[in-house]
């Protein structure tokens, strides 16, 4: 299967890309069938050029577009704007089973938070020291 995708070229920290037609199983920087255009994302404004007729010919013959190339072609007017792909990379939410869905849900407002009492270092009394309310008797040792 043929795919139209970007192939990175350019120097270190200065990427530019070629829009190429290649076999899907081939490496991205590997052999390609044809170069259809180029894209420079560093330039201001960004430079984009492609052979519209060749892109449409490959699409008509069954080639697939990568997501990035499809969005670039939509931005340039080669493809309709409604075909633009919006991909959101977020954590997946877990799928609940029937038994988990039936569990009662706890409302956040109904949960009461109680303040945690932390004793001060100065006011805390150790177990070895008796408090003033407790009576202590002196220990008498038997001297023999």
What class has domain 2-83?
alpha beta
DSSP string, 110-135: TPPPPPPP---TTT---SSSPPTTS-
Q: Is the pTM of this model over 0.85?
A: no
C-alpha span between 20 and 33 (Å, rounded): 7
Residue 140: pLDDT band (50, 70, 90) is low
Q: What is the pLDDT of residues 43-82, one digit of tens each?
A: 889 899 999 999 999 999 999 999 999 999 998 888 888 8
C-alpha span between 60 and 80 (Å, rounded): 15
Q: What is the pLDDT of residues 74-108, one digit of tens each?
A: 988 888 888 888 877 767 777 766 665 555 555 55
């Amino acid at each position: 299967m043929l795919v139209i995708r970007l192939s990175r070229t350019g120097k270190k920290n200065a990427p530019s890309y070629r829009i190429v037609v290649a076999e899907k199983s081939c490496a991205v920087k590997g052999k390609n069938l044809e170069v259809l255009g180029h894209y420079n994302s560093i330039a201001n404004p960004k430079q984009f050029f492609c052979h519209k007729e060749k892109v449409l010919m490959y699409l008509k013959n069954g080639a697939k577009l990568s997501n990035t190339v499809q969005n670039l072609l939509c931005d340039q007017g080669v493809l309709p704007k409604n075909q633009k792909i919006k991909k959101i990379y977020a954590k997946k939410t877990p799928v609940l089973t029937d038994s988990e869905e039936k569990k009662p849900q706890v409302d956040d407002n109904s949960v009461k938070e109680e303040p945690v009492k932390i004793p001060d270092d100065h006011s805390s009394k150790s177990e070895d020291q008796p408090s003033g309310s407790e009576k202590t008797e002196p220990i008498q040792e038997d001297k023999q």
